[in-house]
Amino acid sequence: MKCRKCGGTAVLELRRHNAAFCAPDFMEFFRRQVGEAVRRHRMFTREESVLVAVSGGKDSLALWDVLLQEGYSTTGLYLDLGIFDYSKESRAKCEAFAAEHGVPLLIVSVEQEVGAGIPEVQAATRRPTCSACGLSKRYLMNKAALEHGFPVVATGHNLDDEAATLFGSILHWQTEPLARQSPALPSTHPKLVRRVKPLYRLSERETAAYAFLRRIDYIVEECPFAKGATSLMHKEILNRLEDVSPGAKHNFLFGFLEKGRPAFERLVEVALNECARCGQVTTGTLCGFCKLADQVKRAR
Ligand code: AMP
Ligand code: FES
Ligand code: ZN
């Protein structure tokens, strides 16, 4: 196997691109894909400070690494979910990365914000696994960005994550999530910061390879509440499709973004208000996060 760029020995074959790369040229390819995502969706400029949400996993640390290499001004944000050893270890990975690169890391504790860690929050609600956690993460990312004056939050969602989310939304024809699924969500309210996913063009296998080649020390274990079995199953199904037809995942997601999403955007119109209690954005009177905090209080 030869590198497409230099003809040297390739370390990684990318069947969907019909190409193979040596280590330096693969890393260059990876950075270019991130650059293309940032440009194409006007995610942020070099003048803006980007808040990078880091979980301690390979994707978000790889993203932070690329943005630092490309000279963007970044600050990390770690949300301590209070999930036993998993949270302790993932926090340590983020702290070590920040210290090694001499970059700032904000840490927000879910326990302080909600009154309990995610295990207790989940027990107090009848929501499906990870849904209370996802809601808390989105809320706290936005809140931290607003409080510290960041115009944009970047997350490490990759092509596999995005394709699996799309697959799940289509199975149930969930119009609102379909309208919202995008690599870049603009700010539609002064209290809502932009949310962007600069890795959406890169697969999980590619971010793992990048993290390995860059010697990034990340947490390998998954969260013990392991991602509702359904989203894992959707990933598996898409991987099987990808095996027999390289590029299937990419075509599925990119075809939707180009041809499907505009139709859903037209269907969904939401009026945004400010939460009566915390002032953050909601479609109702009280935001989902404040309702969650109430549920936790009642359960105690
Ligand atoms: P997940 O929802 O766990 O697949 O994570 C998707 C993205 O959300 C990650 O790539 C991170 O950017 C962000 N994220 C997940 N967990 C955390 C966390 N505990 N703290 C900060 N960001 C997180
Ligand atoms: Fe949220 Fe696992 S990361 S429940
Ligand atoms: Zn609220």
Q: How is residue 3 written in tokens?
A: 């590198």
For residue 105, report the distance from its CA to the centre of ligand 3, in Å: 25
Predicted pLDDT of residue 45: 97
For residue 284, report the distance from its CA to the centre of ligand 3, in Å: 10
Which atom of ligand 2 is nearest the CA belonging to 122?
A: 4
| CA pair distance 100, 83, nearest whole angstrom | 25
pLDDT tops 90 at residue 86:
yes
Q: How is residue 162 written in tokens?
A: 């995005």
Nearest CA to ligand 1 atom 12: 155
Q: Of the candidates 185, 193, 203, which has an alpha carbon nearest to the alpha carbon of residue 42?
A: 185
Q: Which of 25-29, 127-131, 242-246, 265-269 has the lowest average pLDDT?
A: 127-131
Predicted pLDDT of residue 100: 98
Per cent of the chain over pLDDT 70 is 99
Whether the pTM exceeds 0.85: the reply is yes
Q: Of the candidates 201, 172, 169, 170, which has an alpha carbon nearest to the alpha carbon of residue 184?
A: 201
For residue 297, report the distance from its CA to the centre of ligand 3, in Å: 15
Nearest CA to ligand 1 atom 9: 156
pLDDT tens-digit series, residues 29-53: 999 999 999 999 999 999 999 999 9
Nearest CA to ligand 1 atom 18: 55
Q: Model confidence at 80, in pLDDT bands (50, 70, 90)?
A: very high
Helix (H, G, I), strand (E, B) or coil at 139: helix
Instruction: Give the Cβ contact number of residue 62 at 10 Å.
Output: 27
pLDDT tops 70 at residue 227:
no
The packing angle between helices 248-255 and 229-244, to 10°, is 110
Nearest CA to ligand 2 atom 4: 130
Q: Count Cβ atoms within 10 A of the Cβ of residue 260 and give its class: 0-12 exposed, 13-18 middle, 19 or more buried.
A: middle
Q: Model confidence at 129, in pLDDT bands (50, 70, 90)?
A: low
For residues 233-247, give the mean pLDDT.
96
Mutate to test the pocket of ligand 1, among 155, 159, 197, 203 (most ligand atoms within 8 A of CB): 155
| CA pair distance 253, 201, nearest whole angstrom | 9
For residue 229, report the distance from its CA to the centre of ligand 2, in Å: 12
For residues 172-183, give the mean pLDDT.
95
Q: Which helix (DSSP H) or strand (DSSP E) does residue 196 occupy?
A: strand 194-196
| CA pair distance 93, 207, nearest whole angstrom | 17
Mutate to test the pocket of ligand 2, among 60, 223, 232, 292 (most ligand atoms within 8 A of CB): 223
Q: Which helix (DSSP H) or strand (DSSP E) does residue 154 occupy?
A: strand 152-154
Contact 20, 42 (CB under 8 A): no
For residue 240, report the distance from its CA to the centre of ligand 2, in Å: 25
For residue 289, report the distance from its CA to the centre of ligand 3, in Å: 6
Which atom of ligand 2 is nearest the CA belonging to 129?
A: 4
Q: Which helix (DSSP H) or strand (DSSP E) does residue 185 occupy?
A: strand 184-185
Which atom of ligand 2 is nearest the CA belonging to 118?
A: 4
pLDDT tops 70 at residue 228:
no
Nearest CA to ligand 2 atom 3: 223
Which atom of ligand 1 is nearest the CA belonging to 156?
A: 10
282 Cβ closer than 6 Å to some ligand 1 atom: no
| CA pair distance 112, 117, nearest whole angstrom | 8
Q: Which residues surround ligand 3, an ion (CB under 5 A)?
A: 275, 277-278, 287, 290
Predicted pLDDT of residue 277: 96
Q: Model confidence at 60, in pLDDT bands (50, 70, 90)?
A: very high
Residues 6+ apart with CB under 8 A from 68: 74, 101, 103
For residue 274, report the distance from its CA to the centre of ligand 1, in Å: 25
Nearest CA to ligand 1 atom 15: 55
pLDDT tops 80 at residue 148:
yes
